[in-house]
Amino acid sequence: MQELGMAEQGSIRVSRKDGNVVVIEKDLATEEMVLSMGPQHPSTHGVLKLECMTDGEVVTSAEPYLGYLHRCFEKHCEVVDYPGIVPYTDRMDYLAGMNNEWAYCIAVEKLLDIEIPRRVEFIRVMVSELNRIASHLVAIGTYGIDLGAFTPFLFCFRDREHILNLLEWASGARMLYNYIWIGGVAFDIPADFNKRVKEFVDYFRPKVVELYKLLTENEIFVKRTKGIGIMPADVAINYAWSGPMLRGSGVKWDLRRNDPYSVYPELDFNVPVPDGKFSDIGDCLSRHLVRALEMEESLNIIEQCISKMPASDGFNPRSAVPKRVRPKAGEVYARAENPRGELGFYIQSDGKSTKPLRCKARSSCFVNLSAMKDLSKGQLIPDLVAIIGSIDIVLGEVDR
């Protein structure tokens, strides 16, 4: 065929001969498009906005935009006294209020150099591990909904109610507790509290297995999460990941083991990490798997607390609570293993005021979310939902 002319019409190259058009080649290249996901999208788990660059259905970049929930926590701390800050910590990661309070109190107690009664330490561990299970139940249940599984969500929230009932019995609140105080706890646990907790442990153990079979081993769930959003261990470390995110990448790092505090050195428990047989190490399924396995370890810790806790005869839970908190001049950083990773508090004291000169919160959610660009690159748009859900963010702690 002798080509008499060549023209470009859109993405189709053609040749002309005797007035007839013959298609020679079709160019399938596409333009990049900006896709905004959130801040009203339900699967962003709060007011998170992702600005995604897409090539067709493939994500080339995803930039998180924050600040829609900024609550000025760190600025509040400069005008509120040390004990008054405790209720504000509840409102950061509102799904793990006990853990937040404890991390903050550890920092102030380190600055004051005070010794905590042994019974208080076991109470703190027990309520914090109960709160860890409750937090993981929300993470697992909502993750199922993100990917189209509704039944596990109902199962998780049914069992979470039992924990909230226990925490309400101990503290008087179901979410924002103000229970762990500097030097102690607000109240001693009720007389039959340990008995009721043991009943919950016995009830929940088979439920963990049931939930595992219902969701974690579900064929559709596995296909939606396995091999998606893989984060290598070295990159996770460089991003300063912590908690289930870091352990999901195969790094066996848990502050309760590696930088122990309170009575954790006396307790026997494992640090779950994926072995690569069920999931691809570092993917969304691995991160979910860590949370699912951690609930059983928390049950083991709670049982040991019940058996090792000193008797309450003549016990005053506020015996070490200082009447006026005015630390000496200096600075301190303390951290604790929260359900979402390392929560740390850096506090500066001028030695004169009953209010901190500076109180900086190190949010694990903020740090974990910072890797969104690497996690999303080359993934499909529907897989972004799986990736965000696997990070398990709480925007109250991200924005602070």
The per-residue pLDDT for range 319-355, each reduced to its tens digit, is: 899 989 999 999 999 999 999 999 999 999 999 999 9
Q: Look up residue 69 and give its two tokens.
A: 């929930």
Condensed to tens digits (0 to 9), the pLDDT of residues 158-193 reads 999 999 999 999 999 999 999 999 999 999 999 999
Condensed to tens digits (0 to 9), the pLDDT of residues 36-88 reads 887 887 878 888 898 988 888 889 888 999 888 888 899 999 999 999 999 99
Q: Specify the residue for token string 């908190």.
A: 325
Calpha distance 61→33 (Å, rounded): 11
184 three-state secondary structure: strand
Model pTM greater than 0.75? yes
Per-residue model confidence (pLDDT) at position 22: 53
Write the CA distances from 208 to 110, 218, 244, 271, 277, integer angstroms: 36, 15, 17, 17, 20
CA–CA–CA angle 276, 281, 282 (5° rounding): 165
Q: How many alpha carbons fall within 13 Å on the CB side of residue 354?
A: 9
Per-residue model confidence (pLDDT) at position 9: 41
Calpha distance 207→215 (Å, rounded): 12
Per-residue model confidence (pLDDT) at position 20: 56
pLDDT over 50 at 386, yes or no: yes
- Catalogue all structural domains in the chain, each as residue range(s) with its CATH number: 1-30 (no CATH), 73-399 (1.10.645.10)
Calpha distance 344→283 (Å, rounded): 26
Q: What is the DSSP letter of 116?
A: P
Per-residue model confidence (pLDDT) at position 153: 94
Per-residue model confidence (pLDDT) at position 262: 95
Calpha distance 225→383 (Å, rounded): 8
Number of residues that make up the chain: 400
